[in-house]
Structure 1
Amino acid sequence: MLDVSQVSHSYAAGGRLWRKPAIPVLQDISFTLEPGMCLGLLGVSGTGKSTLGKIILGLQRPTAGRVSFAGQDWYARDRRARHHMRREVQAVFQDCYSAVNPLMSAGQIIGEPLRNYERLSALEQKRRVAELLEQVGLQASDADKRPAAFSGGQLQRINIARAIALRPKLIVLDEAISSLDMVNQTQILTLLSQLRADYGMSYLFITHHIQAALTISDRMLVMDKGQIVCTADSAAALMSSPHPAVQQLIAARLPEHPSQRLDWSSET
Protein backbone atom coordinates (compact mmCIF):
# COMPACT_ATOMS: atom_id res chain seq x y z
CA MET A 1 0.00 0.00 0.00
CA LEU A 2 2.87 2.36 0.82
CA ASP A 3 6.04 2.20 -1.23
CA VAL A 4 9.00 4.39 -0.27
CA SER A 5 11.72 4.09 -2.89
CA GLN A 6 15.24 5.55 -2.64
CA VAL A 7 14.09 8.65 -0.77
CA SER A 8 16.78 11.16 0.13
CA HIS A 9 16.40 14.64 1.53
CA SER A 10 18.66 17.58 2.35
CA TYR A 11 18.04 20.97 3.90
CA ALA A 12 19.58 24.09 2.43
CA ALA A 13 22.05 25.93 4.66
CA GLY A 14 23.28 29.50 4.75
CA GLY A 15 21.58 32.84 4.12
CA ARG A 16 20.76 35.11 1.22
CA LEU A 17 24.33 36.29 0.72
CA TRP A 18 26.06 32.93 0.92
CA ARG A 19 25.24 29.29 0.55
CA LYS A 20 26.69 26.38 2.45
CA PRO A 21 26.56 22.76 1.32
CA ALA A 22 23.12 21.24 1.84
CA ILE A 23 22.72 19.23 5.02
CA PRO A 24 21.70 15.61 4.27
CA VAL A 25 18.91 14.31 6.51
CA LEU A 26 17.78 11.15 4.70
CA GLN A 27 19.87 8.90 2.47
CA ASP A 28 18.40 6.33 0.09
CA ILE A 29 15.47 5.17 2.24
CA SER A 30 13.41 2.30 0.79
CA PHE A 31 10.69 0.13 2.35
CA THR A 32 7.12 -1.03 1.81
CA LEU A 33 4.11 -1.20 4.11
CA GLU A 34 1.38 -3.71 3.40
CA PRO A 35 -2.36 -3.28 4.14
CA GLY A 36 -3.23 -3.95 7.77
CA MET A 37 0.41 -3.87 8.90
CA CYS A 38 1.97 -1.82 11.68
CA LEU A 39 5.49 -0.83 10.72
CA GLY A 40 7.64 0.48 13.56
CA LEU A 41 10.18 3.15 12.61
CA LEU A 42 12.67 3.54 15.44
CA GLY A 43 15.59 5.81 16.18
CA VAL A 44 16.86 8.36 18.64
CA SER A 45 16.17 12.06 18.14
CA GLY A 46 17.81 13.60 15.08
CA THR A 47 17.89 10.47 12.92
CA GLY A 48 15.42 11.85 10.36
CA LYS A 49 12.31 9.92 11.45
CA SER A 50 9.98 12.92 11.60
CA THR A 51 11.26 14.32 8.30
CA LEU A 52 10.49 10.98 6.68
CA GLY A 53 7.03 11.06 8.27
CA LYS A 54 6.34 14.49 6.75
CA ILE A 55 7.46 13.26 3.33
CA ILE A 56 5.13 10.26 3.58
CA LEU A 57 2.26 12.54 4.61
CA GLY A 58 2.81 14.71 1.54
CA LEU A 59 3.96 17.68 3.61
CA GLN A 60 7.60 17.79 2.52
CA ARG A 61 8.75 17.04 -1.02
CA PRO A 62 11.89 14.87 -0.93
CA THR A 63 15.08 15.93 -2.66
CA ALA A 64 15.16 12.59 -4.45
CA GLY A 65 13.20 9.36 -4.61
CA ARG A 66 9.53 8.40 -4.79
CA VAL A 67 6.68 7.89 -2.32
CA SER A 68 3.71 5.97 -3.66
CA PHE A 69 0.43 5.33 -1.87
CA ALA A 70 -1.94 2.75 -3.37
CA GLY A 71 0.13 2.87 -6.54
CA GLN A 72 0.01 6.66 -6.91
CA ASP A 73 3.03 8.94 -6.56
CA TRP A 74 2.29 11.57 -3.90
CA TYR A 75 4.32 14.26 -5.59
CA ALA A 76 3.36 13.52 -9.20
CA ARG A 77 -0.34 14.19 -8.50
CA ASP A 78 -2.00 17.58 -8.92
CA ARG A 79 -3.44 19.46 -5.95
CA ARG A 80 -6.94 17.99 -6.29
CA ALA A 81 -5.62 14.43 -6.50
CA ARG A 82 -3.43 14.96 -3.42
CA HIS A 83 -6.47 16.28 -1.55
CA HIS A 84 -8.34 13.08 -2.41
CA MET A 85 -5.37 10.91 -1.43
CA ARG A 86 -4.99 12.73 1.88
CA ARG A 87 -8.39 11.40 2.94
CA GLU A 88 -6.78 7.95 3.08
CA VAL A 89 -3.69 9.03 5.05
CA GLN A 90 -4.08 10.65 8.46
CA ALA A 91 -1.67 11.49 11.29
CA VAL A 92 -1.37 11.67 15.07
CA PHE A 93 1.51 13.76 16.38
CA GLN A 94 3.47 13.88 19.63
CA ASP A 95 2.18 17.15 21.07
CA CYS A 96 -1.50 16.48 21.63
CA TYR A 97 -2.08 20.09 22.74
CA SER A 98 -0.62 21.95 19.76
CA ALA A 99 -2.38 19.53 17.39
CA VAL A 100 -5.78 21.00 18.27
CA ASN A 101 -7.38 24.44 18.27
CA PRO A 102 -7.91 25.36 21.94
CA LEU A 103 -11.00 27.40 21.03
CA MET A 104 -12.76 24.47 19.39
CA SER A 105 -14.77 21.83 21.23
CA ALA A 106 -13.84 18.18 21.06
CA GLY A 107 -16.82 17.63 18.79
CA GLN A 108 -15.64 20.32 16.40
CA ILE A 109 -12.08 18.92 16.39
CA ILE A 110 -13.19 15.38 15.62
CA GLY A 111 -15.75 16.58 13.11
CA GLU A 112 -13.29 18.67 11.10
CA PRO A 113 -12.31 15.91 8.61
CA LEU A 114 -15.99 14.96 8.28
CA ARG A 115 -16.80 18.55 7.31
CA ASN A 116 -13.95 18.56 4.80
CA TYR A 117 -14.77 15.27 3.08
CA GLU A 118 -18.29 14.14 3.93
CA ARG A 119 -21.70 15.64 3.26
CA LEU A 120 -23.43 14.93 6.55
CA SER A 121 -26.34 16.71 8.14
CA ALA A 122 -25.73 18.33 11.52
CA LEU A 123 -27.55 15.46 13.23
CA GLU A 124 -25.59 12.81 11.33
CA GLN A 125 -22.29 14.47 12.17
CA LYS A 126 -23.22 14.77 15.85
CA ARG A 127 -24.09 11.06 15.91
CA ARG A 128 -20.85 10.12 14.16
CA VAL A 129 -18.75 12.23 16.55
CA ALA A 130 -20.48 10.60 19.52
CA GLU A 131 -19.65 7.15 18.12
CA LEU A 132 -16.01 8.13 17.62
CA LEU A 133 -15.69 9.46 21.16
CA GLU A 134 -17.03 6.22 22.56
CA GLN A 135 -14.74 4.18 20.31
CA VAL A 136 -11.68 5.84 21.84
CA GLY A 137 -12.91 5.37 25.40
CA LEU A 138 -14.51 8.76 26.03
CA GLN A 139 -18.16 9.76 26.45
CA ALA A 140 -20.51 11.34 23.92
CA SER A 141 -21.07 14.23 26.36
CA ASP A 142 -17.36 15.13 26.03
CA ALA A 143 -18.11 16.57 22.60
CA ASP A 144 -19.01 19.94 24.12
CA LYS A 145 -15.79 20.29 26.15
CA ARG A 146 -12.74 22.24 25.03
CA PRO A 147 -9.17 20.87 25.09
CA ALA A 148 -8.33 22.52 28.42
CA ALA A 149 -10.87 20.24 30.11
CA PHE A 150 -8.98 17.08 29.14
CA SER A 151 -5.83 15.37 30.38
CA GLY A 152 -3.01 14.65 27.96
CA GLY A 153 -4.11 11.05 27.54
CA GLN A 154 -7.72 12.05 26.92
CA LEU A 155 -6.70 14.70 24.42
CA GLN A 156 -4.57 12.21 22.50
CA ARG A 157 -7.65 9.98 22.31
CA ILE A 158 -9.47 12.91 20.70
CA ASN A 159 -6.64 13.27 18.17
CA ILE A 160 -6.93 9.55 17.42
CA ALA A 161 -10.71 9.87 17.02
CA ARG A 162 -10.14 12.67 14.49
CA ALA A 163 -7.57 10.53 12.64
CA ILE A 164 -9.94 7.55 12.29
CA ALA A 165 -13.04 9.63 11.47
CA LEU A 166 -12.72 8.97 7.73
CA ARG A 167 -11.66 5.34 8.16
CA PRO A 168 -8.29 5.98 6.47
CA LYS A 169 -6.10 3.22 5.10
CA LEU A 170 -2.94 4.53 6.78
CA ILE A 171 -2.24 6.49 9.97
CA VAL A 172 1.20 7.95 10.61
CA LEU A 173 1.79 8.01 14.37
CA ASP A 174 4.73 10.36 14.95
CA GLU A 175 5.89 9.89 18.57
CA ALA A 176 2.18 9.71 19.43
CA ILE A 177 2.74 8.33 22.95
CA SER A 178 6.04 10.02 23.86
CA SER A 179 4.53 12.89 25.86
CA LEU A 180 2.30 10.58 27.95
CA ASP A 181 2.99 8.80 31.22
CA MET A 182 3.46 5.04 31.24
CA VAL A 183 -0.16 4.26 32.19
CA ASN A 184 -1.51 6.38 29.34
CA GLN A 185 1.07 4.95 26.95
CA THR A 186 -0.17 1.45 27.67
CA GLN A 187 -3.80 2.48 27.29
CA ILE A 188 -3.18 4.25 23.97
CA LEU A 189 -1.22 1.28 22.59
CA THR A 190 -4.08 -1.03 23.55
CA LEU A 191 -6.56 1.34 21.90
CA LEU A 192 -4.50 1.53 18.70
CA SER A 193 -4.25 -2.25 18.52
CA GLN A 194 -8.01 -2.61 18.93
CA LEU A 195 -8.78 0.02 16.29
CA ARG A 196 -6.43 -1.65 13.82
CA ALA A 197 -8.19 -4.97 14.43
CA ASP A 198 -11.60 -3.32 13.99
CA TYR A 199 -10.86 -1.32 10.83
CA GLY A 200 -7.90 -3.09 9.20
CA MET A 201 -5.91 0.14 9.02
CA SER A 202 -2.15 0.29 8.58
CA TYR A 203 0.11 2.21 10.94
CA LEU A 204 3.52 3.77 10.51
CA PHE A 205 4.55 3.93 14.16
CA ILE A 206 7.42 6.42 14.55
CA THR A 207 9.02 6.24 17.98
CA HIS A 208 12.21 6.11 20.02
CA HIS A 209 10.55 3.78 22.57
CA ILE A 210 11.70 0.28 21.64
CA GLN A 211 9.29 -1.39 24.06
CA ALA A 212 6.31 0.40 22.52
CA ALA A 213 7.44 -0.62 19.03
CA LEU A 214 7.82 -4.23 20.13
CA THR A 215 4.31 -4.13 21.60
CA ILE A 216 2.45 -2.96 18.51
CA SER A 217 4.61 -3.50 15.42
CA ASP A 218 4.62 -6.40 12.95
CA ARG A 219 7.94 -5.31 11.49
CA MET A 220 10.53 -2.78 12.64
CA LEU A 221 13.07 -0.53 10.95
CA VAL A 222 15.82 1.27 12.85
CA MET A 223 17.23 4.53 11.51
CA ASP A 224 20.59 6.08 12.25
CA LYS A 225 22.08 9.18 10.63
CA GLY A 226 19.36 9.27 8.00
CA GLN A 227 19.70 5.66 6.93
CA ILE A 228 17.93 2.38 7.71
CA VAL A 229 20.49 0.28 9.54
CA CYS A 230 18.36 -2.62 10.76
CA THR A 231 15.21 -4.42 9.61
CA ALA A 232 13.56 -6.91 11.98
CA ASP A 233 10.46 -9.06 11.67
CA SER A 234 10.47 -10.17 15.30
CA ALA A 235 11.47 -9.02 18.76
CA ALA A 236 14.25 -11.62 18.83
CA ALA A 237 15.71 -10.38 15.56
CA LEU A 238 15.69 -6.78 16.75
CA MET A 239 17.11 -7.46 20.20
CA SER A 240 19.93 -9.58 18.76
CA SER A 241 21.11 -6.93 16.31
CA PRO A 242 24.69 -5.84 17.03
CA HIS A 243 24.30 -2.43 15.39
CA PRO A 244 25.21 0.40 17.82
CA ALA A 245 21.98 2.31 17.04
CA VAL A 246 19.88 -0.69 18.07
CA GLN A 247 21.96 -1.27 21.17
CA GLN A 248 21.50 2.38 22.11
CA LEU A 249 17.72 1.98 21.95
CA ILE A 250 17.89 -1.21 24.01
CA ALA A 251 20.10 0.46 26.64
CA ALA A 252 17.60 3.32 26.98
CA ARG A 253 14.71 0.94 27.65
CA LEU A 254 13.22 1.24 31.13
CA PRO A 255 13.17 -2.15 32.91
CA GLU A 256 9.67 -3.53 33.37
CA HIS A 257 10.09 -4.31 37.08
CA PRO A 258 10.57 -1.34 39.44
CA SER A 259 13.25 -3.21 41.41
CA GLN A 260 15.44 -3.21 38.31
CA ARG A 261 15.25 0.55 37.80
CA LEU A 262 17.86 3.01 39.02
CA ASP A 263 16.98 4.44 42.41
CA TRP A 264 17.54 8.12 41.82
CA SER A 265 16.75 8.95 45.45
CA SER A 266 20.00 7.28 46.48
CA GLU A 267 22.07 9.56 44.26
CA THR A 268 23.84 12.45 45.95
Structure 2
Amino acid sequence: MRLLQVQEVTHAYGKDRLFGRSGRQTPVLSNVSLSIDEGVCLGLLGSSGAGKSTLGKVILGLEKPQRGRVIFQRQDIYAMNAVARKQVRRNLQVVFQDSYSSINPRMSVERIIGEPLDNYESMSVNEQKRAIGELLEMVGLKAADMTKYPHQFSGGQLQRINIARAIALKPKLIVLDESVSSLDMVTQAQILALLNELKRVFGLSYLFITHDIKAAYALSDRLAVMDMGVVVGMFEDKEQIFASTHPAIMNLLQSVLAEHPRNRQIKPV
Protein backbone atom coordinates (compact mmCIF):
# COMPACT_ATOMS: atom_id res chain seq x y z
CA MET A 1 0.00 0.00 0.00
CA ARG A 2 1.24 3.49 -0.91
CA LEU A 3 2.32 5.44 2.15
CA LEU A 4 3.92 8.51 0.56
CA GLN A 5 3.57 10.10 -2.85
CA VAL A 6 5.58 13.08 -4.03
CA GLN A 7 3.88 14.50 -7.10
CA GLU A 8 5.74 16.85 -9.48
CA VAL A 9 7.33 18.92 -6.72
CA THR A 10 9.20 22.02 -7.82
CA HIS A 11 11.01 24.34 -5.44
CA ALA A 12 13.52 27.17 -5.66
CA TYR A 13 15.31 29.50 -3.28
CA GLY A 14 15.23 33.19 -4.11
CA LYS A 15 16.98 36.36 -3.04
CA ASP A 16 15.32 38.82 -0.68
CA ARG A 17 12.71 41.07 -2.21
CA LEU A 18 13.78 44.59 -3.15
CA PHE A 19 11.17 47.30 -3.71
CA GLY A 20 8.44 44.64 -3.93
CA ARG A 21 10.22 42.60 -6.60
CA SER A 22 11.44 39.08 -6.01
CA GLY A 23 15.07 38.39 -6.79
CA ARG A 24 16.42 35.74 -9.13
CA GLN A 25 15.57 32.25 -7.92
CA THR A 26 17.83 29.23 -7.95
CA PRO A 27 15.91 26.01 -8.77
CA VAL A 28 16.58 23.21 -6.29
CA LEU A 29 13.86 20.71 -7.21
CA SER A 30 12.25 20.33 -10.63
CA ASN A 31 9.14 18.17 -11.14
CA VAL A 32 10.26 15.54 -8.64
CA SER A 33 7.96 12.54 -8.29
CA LEU A 34 8.48 9.39 -6.23
CA SER A 35 6.59 7.09 -3.88
CA ILE A 36 7.23 4.86 -0.87
CA ASP A 37 5.14 1.82 0.06
CA GLU A 38 4.49 0.57 3.57
CA GLY A 39 7.38 -1.43 5.00
CA VAL A 40 9.78 -0.32 2.26
CA CYS A 41 13.05 1.63 2.42
CA LEU A 42 13.69 3.93 -0.53
CA GLY A 43 17.32 4.96 -0.79
CA LEU A 44 17.63 8.48 -2.22
CA LEU A 45 21.12 8.91 -3.65
CA GLY A 46 22.92 11.89 -5.10
CA SER A 47 26.01 14.02 -4.79
CA SER A 48 26.19 17.14 -2.63
CA GLY A 49 23.81 19.81 -3.93
CA ALA A 50 21.59 17.35 -5.80
CA GLY A 51 18.50 18.47 -3.83
CA LYS A 52 18.12 15.41 -1.61
CA SER A 53 17.93 17.19 1.74
CA THR A 54 15.63 19.89 0.38
CA LEU A 55 13.27 17.16 -0.81
CA GLY A 56 13.47 15.63 2.67
CA LYS A 57 12.44 18.95 4.21
CA VAL A 58 9.54 19.24 1.76
CA ILE A 59 8.33 15.75 2.71
CA LEU A 60 8.64 16.56 6.42
CA GLY A 61 6.50 19.67 6.00
CA LEU A 62 9.41 22.00 6.79
CA GLU A 63 9.76 23.60 3.33
CA LYS A 64 6.59 24.29 1.34
CA PRO A 65 7.17 23.67 -2.36
CA GLN A 66 6.18 26.24 -4.95
CA ARG A 67 4.44 23.59 -7.04
CA GLY A 68 3.41 19.98 -6.61
CA ARG A 69 1.92 17.93 -3.80
CA VAL A 70 3.11 15.66 -0.99
CA ILE A 71 0.53 12.99 -0.18
CA PHE A 72 1.09 11.13 3.09
CA GLN A 73 -1.44 8.52 4.17
CA ARG A 74 -3.75 9.80 1.41
CA GLN A 75 -3.67 13.40 2.64
CA ASP A 76 -1.93 16.43 1.15
CA ILE A 77 0.29 17.59 4.02
CA TYR A 78 0.22 21.19 2.80
CA ALA A 79 -3.59 21.32 2.56
CA MET A 80 -4.61 19.65 5.82
CA ASN A 81 -5.98 21.22 8.98
CA ALA A 82 -4.15 21.52 12.30
CA VAL A 83 -5.59 18.30 13.75
CA ALA A 84 -4.53 16.23 10.76
CA ARG A 85 -1.12 17.93 10.74
CA LYS A 86 -0.53 16.86 14.34
CA GLN A 87 -1.31 13.26 13.41
CA VAL A 88 1.15 13.50 10.53
CA ARG A 89 3.85 14.65 12.91
CA ARG A 90 3.23 11.52 14.96
CA ASN A 91 3.59 9.20 11.97
CA LEU A 92 6.39 11.03 10.17
CA GLN A 93 9.68 11.26 12.07
CA VAL A 94 13.26 12.16 11.17
CA VAL A 95 16.84 11.32 12.13
CA PHE A 96 19.38 13.93 10.98
CA GLN A 97 23.06 13.62 10.21
CA ASP A 98 24.44 15.55 13.17
CA SER A 99 23.59 13.54 16.25
CA TYR A 100 24.94 16.29 18.53
CA SER A 101 22.93 19.24 17.23
CA SER A 102 19.74 17.15 17.00
CA ILE A 103 19.30 17.07 20.77
CA ASN A 104 19.35 19.55 23.63
CA PRO A 105 22.65 19.07 25.51
CA ARG A 106 21.01 20.22 28.76
CA MET A 107 18.34 17.54 28.70
CA SER A 108 18.73 14.05 30.11
CA VAL A 109 18.20 11.08 27.82
CA GLU A 110 14.93 10.44 29.65
CA ARG A 111 13.63 13.89 28.71
CA ILE A 112 14.96 13.67 25.13
CA ILE A 113 13.16 10.41 24.37
CA GLY A 114 10.21 11.36 26.55
CA GLU A 115 9.38 14.53 24.57
CA PRO A 116 7.29 12.83 21.86
CA LEU A 117 5.64 10.63 24.48
CA ASP A 118 4.65 13.74 26.47
CA ASN A 119 3.14 15.27 23.33
CA TYR A 120 1.12 12.29 22.15
CA GLU A 121 0.68 9.72 24.91
CA SER A 122 -1.03 9.78 28.30
CA MET A 123 1.35 7.84 30.54
CA SER A 124 2.10 7.78 34.20
CA VAL A 125 5.68 8.57 35.25
CA ASN A 126 6.43 4.90 35.83
CA GLU A 127 4.87 3.84 32.51
CA GLN A 128 6.95 6.39 30.64
CA LYS A 129 10.16 5.36 32.39
CA ARG A 130 9.47 1.74 31.49
CA ALA A 131 8.78 2.67 27.85
CA ILE A 132 11.97 4.75 27.61
CA GLY A 133 14.00 1.93 29.13
CA GLU A 134 12.60 -0.50 26.57
CA LEU A 135 13.37 1.90 23.72
CA LEU A 136 16.97 2.29 24.89
CA GLU A 137 17.40 -1.47 25.04
CA MET A 138 15.92 -1.81 21.54
CA VAL A 139 18.66 0.43 20.15
CA GLY A 140 21.47 -1.34 21.97
CA LEU A 141 21.82 0.87 25.05
CA LYS A 142 20.88 0.28 28.69
CA ALA A 143 17.76 1.40 30.50
CA ALA A 144 20.01 2.98 33.15
CA ASP A 145 21.37 5.33 30.46
CA MET A 146 18.21 7.43 30.69
CA THR A 147 19.68 9.36 33.62
CA LYS A 148 22.75 10.43 31.62
CA TYR A 149 23.33 13.53 29.47
CA PRO A 150 24.48 13.85 25.84
CA HIS A 151 28.11 14.71 26.69
CA GLN A 152 28.45 11.27 28.28
CA PHE A 153 27.93 9.45 24.96
CA SER A 154 29.86 8.88 21.75
CA GLY A 155 28.48 10.07 18.40
CA GLY A 156 27.26 6.57 17.56
CA GLN A 157 25.52 6.23 20.92
CA LEU A 158 23.85 9.62 20.47
CA GLN A 159 22.55 8.53 17.08
CA ARG A 160 21.04 5.47 18.77
CA ILE A 161 19.30 7.85 21.18
CA ASN A 162 17.99 9.88 18.22
CA ILE A 163 16.69 6.67 16.66
CA ALA A 164 15.02 5.68 19.96
CA ARG A 165 13.25 9.05 20.00
CA ALA A 166 12.20 8.63 16.36
CA ILE A 167 10.61 5.21 16.96
CA ALA A 168 9.02 6.12 20.32
CA LEU A 169 5.61 6.75 18.74
CA LYS A 170 5.86 3.81 16.30
CA PRO A 171 5.67 6.08 13.24
CA LYS A 172 4.82 4.94 9.73
CA LEU A 173 7.75 6.67 7.99
CA ILE A 174 11.18 7.85 9.16
CA VAL A 175 13.28 10.20 7.04
CA LEU A 176 16.95 9.36 7.56
CA ASP A 177 18.88 12.40 6.32
CA GLU A 178 22.54 11.36 6.00
CA SER A 179 22.03 9.75 9.39
CA VAL A 180 25.10 7.47 9.23
CA SER A 181 27.49 9.54 7.12
CA SER A 182 29.29 11.17 10.07
CA LEU A 183 29.98 7.83 11.78
CA ASP A 184 33.06 5.64 11.49
CA MET A 185 32.73 2.51 9.34
CA VAL A 186 32.25 0.08 12.23
CA THR A 187 29.60 2.23 13.94
CA GLN A 188 27.94 2.89 10.58
CA ALA A 189 27.58 -0.85 9.97
CA GLN A 190 26.11 -1.31 13.45
CA ILE A 191 23.56 1.48 12.97
CA LEU A 192 22.54 0.15 9.53
CA ALA A 193 22.03 -3.30 11.05
CA LEU A 194 19.95 -1.71 13.83
CA LEU A 195 17.79 0.20 11.33
CA ASN A 196 17.23 -2.99 9.33
CA GLU A 197 16.14 -4.84 12.46
CA LEU A 198 13.78 -2.05 13.58
CA LYS A 199 12.30 -1.94 10.08
CA ARG A 200 11.59 -5.67 10.31
CA VAL A 201 10.17 -5.57 13.86
CA PHE A 202 7.92 -2.52 13.47
CA GLY A 203 7.18 -2.67 9.73
CA LEU A 204 8.73 0.77 9.31
CA SER A 205 9.17 2.62 6.05
CA TYR A 206 12.29 4.73 5.47
CA LEU A 207 13.41 7.45 3.13
CA PHE A 208 17.17 7.00 3.39
CA ILE A 209 18.89 10.14 2.05
CA THR A 210 22.58 9.57 1.42
CA HIS A 211 25.49 10.07 -0.96
CA ASP A 212 26.95 6.70 0.06
CA ILE A 213 25.85 4.02 -2.40
CA LYS A 214 27.20 1.20 -0.23
CA ALA A 215 25.13 2.33 2.76
CA ALA A 216 22.07 2.81 0.55
CA TYR A 217 22.48 -0.65 -0.94
CA ALA A 218 22.79 -2.22 2.52
CA LEU A 219 19.56 -0.71 3.87
CA SER A 220 17.31 0.01 0.91
CA ASP A 221 14.78 -2.10 -0.95
CA ARG A 222 14.58 0.35 -3.87
CA LEU A 223 16.82 3.17 -5.07
CA ALA A 224 16.31 6.59 -6.60
CA VAL A 225 19.05 8.94 -7.79
CA MET A 226 18.88 12.74 -7.95
CA ASP A 227 21.11 15.10 -9.88
CA MET A 228 20.71 18.88 -10.04
CA GLY A 229 17.21 18.76 -8.56
CA VAL A 230 15.90 16.08 -10.92
CA VAL A 231 15.28 12.37 -10.39
CA VAL A 232 17.51 10.74 -13.01
CA GLY A 233 16.99 7.12 -12.04
CA MET A 234 14.39 4.96 -10.27
CA PHE A 235 15.22 1.32 -9.57
CA GLU A 236 12.56 -1.05 -8.21
CA ASP A 237 15.27 -3.72 -8.22
CA LYS A 238 18.35 -2.13 -6.66
CA GLU A 239 20.62 -4.42 -8.70
CA GLN A 240 19.56 -2.50 -11.81
CA ILE A 241 21.52 0.56 -10.74
CA PHE A 242 24.77 -1.15 -11.74
CA ALA A 243 23.61 -1.30 -15.37
CA SER A 244 22.78 2.42 -15.60
CA THR A 245 24.70 4.55 -18.09
CA HIS A 246 23.56 7.93 -16.76
CA PRO A 247 26.69 10.03 -16.04
CA ALA A 248 25.59 11.06 -12.51
CA ILE A 249 24.84 7.47 -11.55
CA MET A 250 28.09 6.22 -13.07
CA ASN A 251 29.98 8.82 -11.03
CA LEU A 252 28.34 7.51 -7.85
CA LEU A 253 29.26 3.95 -8.74
CA GLN A 254 32.84 4.87 -9.59
CA SER A 255 33.26 6.70 -6.28
CA VAL A 256 32.98 3.43 -4.33
CA LEU A 257 36.41 2.22 -3.19
CA ALA A 258 37.29 -1.45 -3.42
CA GLU A 259 37.39 -3.28 -0.09
CA HIS A 260 41.16 -3.83 -0.23
CA PRO A 261 43.57 -0.97 -1.12
CA ARG A 262 45.47 -3.10 -3.65
CA ASN A 263 42.27 -3.39 -5.71
CA ARG A 264 41.64 0.36 -5.77
CA GLN A 265 42.33 2.22 -8.96
CA ILE A 266 43.17 5.92 -8.85
CA LYS A 267 42.11 7.76 -11.96
CA PRO A 268 44.57 10.29 -13.44
CA VAL A 269 43.55 13.90 -12.99
Is this a same-fold pair by TM over 0.5? Answer: yes
Question: Could you say which residue in structure 2 is the equivalent of 1:51?
Answer: 54
| CA drift at 1:256 | 2.0
Distance in structure 1 (CA, Å) of the matches to 2:176 and 2:130:
26
In the alignment, which residue of structure 1 is the partner of 2:14? 12
d(CA) in 1 for partners of 2:257 and 2:96?
Answer: 23
Cα deviation digits, residues 68-100 of structure 1 (max 9, x gap): 101000000122321121100000000000000
Larger CA deviation: 165-174 vs 104-113: 104-113
Of residues 225, 237, 241 in structure 1, which corresponds to 2:228?
225
In the alignment, the residues of structure 2 paired with residue 152 and residue 216 of structure 1 have an alpha-carbon distance, to the nearest angstrom, of 20
**Separation in 2, partners of 1:67, 1:235:** 24
Aligned: 1:41 with 2:39: no
- Give the drift of 1:248: 1.3
Residue 266 of structure 1: aligned partner: none
Deviations 1:168-207 (A, max 9, x none): 0000000000100000110000000000000001000000
Partner of 1:168 in structure 2? 171
2:153 to 150, 155, 172: 150
Pick from 119, 123, 128 the counterpart of residue 126 of structure 2. 123
Residue 239 of structure 1 corresponds to 242
1:250 and 2:253 aligned: yes
What's the CA shift for 1:6? 0.5
Three-state SS of the structure 2 residue aligned to 1:87 is helix
Structure 2, unmatched stretches of 5+, are none
Query: Tell me, what secondary structure is at the counterpart of 1:242?
Result: coil
The CA deviation at 1:236 is 2.7
Q: Distance in 1 between matches of 2:88 and 2:228?
A: 30
RMSD, aligned α-carbons: 1.4
Q: Report the residue type matching 2:15 in the other structure.
A: A
Q: Is the 8 A contact 2:91 2:170 kept in 1?
A: yes
User: What is the identity, as a one-letter code, of the residue corresponding to 1:4?
Assistant: V
How many Å separate the matches in 2 of 1:210 and 1:143?
34
Q: CA deviation at 1:234?
A: 2.9
Indicate the residue corresponding to 2:4 in structure 1: 2
Name the CA distance, whole Å, in 2 between partners of 1:122 and 1:243.
55
5+ residue gaps in structure 1? 264-268
2:188 corresponds in structure 1 to: 185
SS state of the match for residue 100, structure 2?
A: coil
Deviation string, structure 1 residues 106-147 (Cα, Å, up to 9, x no partner): 111111100111011110000000000000000011111111
TM-score, normalization: structure 1?
A: 0.95
Q: 1:32 aligns with which of 18, 32, 35?
A: 35
Question: 1:63 aligned to 66, 70, 76, which one?
Answer: 66
Cα shift readout 1:220-239 (whole Å, capped 9, x = no counterpart): 00000000001112343101
Aligned residue in 2 for 1:77: 80
Partner of 1:108: 111
CA distance in structure 2 between the aligned counterparts of 1:231 and 1:52, rounded to whole angstroms? 15
After TM superposition, what 4+ stretches of structure 1 lie above 6 angstroms from structure 2? none
TM-score by length of 2: 0.94
Match of 2:204 in 1: 201
Distance 2:265 2:159 in 1: 29
